[in-house]
Structure 1
Amino acid sequence: MWEIISKDLGNSALITAFAVIGVVMWLSVLFSKYLTFGRIHGSAIAIVIGLFLAWVGGTLTGGQKGIADLTLFSGVGLMGGAMLRDFAIVATAFEVQVVEARKAGLIGAFSLLLGTLLPFTVGACVAWGFGYRDAVSITTIGAGTVTYIVGPVTGAAIGATSDVMALSIAAGLTKAILVMVFTPVSARFLGLDNPRSAMIFGGLAGTVSGVTAGLAATDRRLVPYGALTATFHTGLGCLLGPSLLFFLVHTIVG
């Protein structure tokens, strides 16, 4: 019986992946509601569960794709890939009202620039503190602090090693989780109660996953606005990381 079920689930890998993620999200929401009393959003708990499952899958198979290396859960690799991720981001952006978006004005654009340069500087300083002295490694880790997408994109463009790119992803993921967890807690202090402030926050925080999950736990109506600038933030980081920022770091460290 189990062999038949396993074969059917394996043949419908993407459908199985949606079912698995659905169960994980359902459990995460329950944990958030009854264990943390809503203080930690279910999305943040789901990411922690996902990291644990990725470790389990890698340990069992010795592969490089986490739980997707298990035949039964191979569809998770497609579901979590760039195609569906970008589709979800674009679909979210369609909910933005142009009139509200214009209210961000120049300060929204400034938040994008500041939200790129400030975390990059922090990440570069941390990389230097841990003994990295070459411009490629410092730039890659700094770019990872911008977002976990900008890090590997920058590293691939300037020739970083795989271990340095892995560190950049870890840095960006840590930032995303912190933004997820602390956005609902600090929402009142930050004034996250209107589309304009959500767009500025998205530009400063940068990480799409962190911003969307954090705003979803604060006010779901703000999610499209924060996601909009956070998406631009990722694009700006991918543009500046392997070009201007790399040349700047190279000029400083040689």
Structure 2
Amino acid sequence: MIADILTATLTAQGLLTAFALIGLVMLLSEFISARLTRGRIHGSAIAVLAGLVLAWVGGVFTGGSKGLADIPALAGVGLMGGAMLRDFAIVATAYEVDVARLRAAGGAAVTALLLGLVVPFLAAIMVARASGYTDPVALTTIGAGAITYIVGPVTGSALGATPDIMAISIAIGVLKSILVMVATPLLARPIRLSDSRSAMVFGGMMATTSGVSAGLAATDRALVPYGALTATFSTGLGCLLAPSLFFLVVRAFA
């Protein structure tokens, strides 16, 4: 009886349940980060890995395709992880930016943006070609996923890519995001990632907003808005160019 009442309450308050669950995951992830890795691996990176494991467990448990969101009591996770709240969170990271410092980045930030789009795109296409993929749509979608896990599915949807190709593109983007999260605090000193200008260049080069934000948070929280700004812009630019200009170039040479 109590279990039925609890389940009904959690289901009725799905979004609140999702916030509570994610809050618990973040709390445990921060604890693991501080106690087991001494802060070297940011809690966000651990939380992302935990989220992937939970999604897999949810899929196995329900036999569905939406991970934990297929469990009625946790259906709010699907809304919380949807495009609306995701985009709001991404845009919110730019609110603390000092415009004067943004202008100071100048051509370096622009160059970083272009390299952050072209280099991972070409690298992923080369690997995909070596793995036997020849279809321009598949190549473009996989290449877009290497930019970010957002650009990949956006490009795949626009070009009509098959679900398996879109899944590959998302997996590549998630892997890239996790690597950036983990590597940023470790490499910050050698690459002189210490001020707003270098953070903007870094954000443009890496392109992944989640990876850059978490990595910079573990390095210096004051740098997060600057890296997130160029990373967010790179994501938007990728969503614009990948299914249009990049696809036309790939089709011409595929």
**Same fold per superposition (TM over 0.5):** yes
Q: Does 1:46 align with 2:47?
A: yes
Counterpart CA distance in 1 for 2:253 and 2:144 is 16
Alignment of 1:10-21 (within 5 A): 10-21=11-22
Alignment of 1:116-155 (within 5 A): 116-155=117-156
3-state SS in 2 of match to 1:103:
helix
Structure 1 consecutive aligned stretches of length 4 or more whose deviation exceeds 4 Å: none
Counterpart CA distance in 2 for 1:92 and 1:177 is 19
2:205 alignment counterpart = 204
Aligned Cα RMSD in Å?
0.8
1:32 alignment counterpart = 33
2:235 alignment counterpart = 234
2:171 alignment counterpart = 170
Counterpart CA distance in 2 for 1:52 and 1:198 is 31
3-state SS in 1 of match to 2:193:
coil
Counterpart CA distance in 1 for 2:93 and 2:144 is 25
Q: Provide structure 1 residue ranges, at least 5 long, that are not aligned to the other structure.
A: none
Counterpart CA distance in 2 for 1:90 and 1:159 is 28
- CA offset at residue 128 of structure 1? 0.6
Question: Partner letter of residue 225 of structure 1?
Answer: Y
In terms of mean alpha carbon deviation, does 111-120 or 80-89 score higher?
Answer: 80-89
- CA offset at residue 4 of structure 1? 1.3
3-state SS in 2 of match to 1:38:
coil
Question: Partner letter of residue 128 of structure 2?
Answer: A
TM-score (norm 2): 0.98
CA offsets per residue over residues 107-141 of structure 1, 9 Å max, x none?
10110001000000011011111110111111110
- CA offset at residue 37 of structure 1? 1.6
Question: Partner letter of residue 144 of structure 1?
Answer: G
In terms of mean alpha carbon deviation, does 236-245 or 50-59 score higher?
Answer: 236-245
In terms of mean alpha carbon deviation, does 195-204 or 89-98 score higher?
Answer: 89-98
Counterpart CA distance in 1 for 2:24 and 2:6 is 17
Q: Does 1:101 align with 2:102?
A: yes
1:244 alignment counterpart = 245
- Report % sequence identity: 62
1:89 alignment counterpart = 90
- CA offset at residue 92 of structure 1? 1.5
Counterpart CA distance in 2 for 1:61 and 1:8 is 20
- CA offset at residue 62 of structure 1? 1.2
The number of equivalent residue pairs is 253
Counterpart CA distance in 1 for 2:190 and 2:89 is 29
Q: Provide structure 2 residue ranges, at least 5 long, that are not aligned to the other structure.
A: none
TM-score (norm 1): 0.98
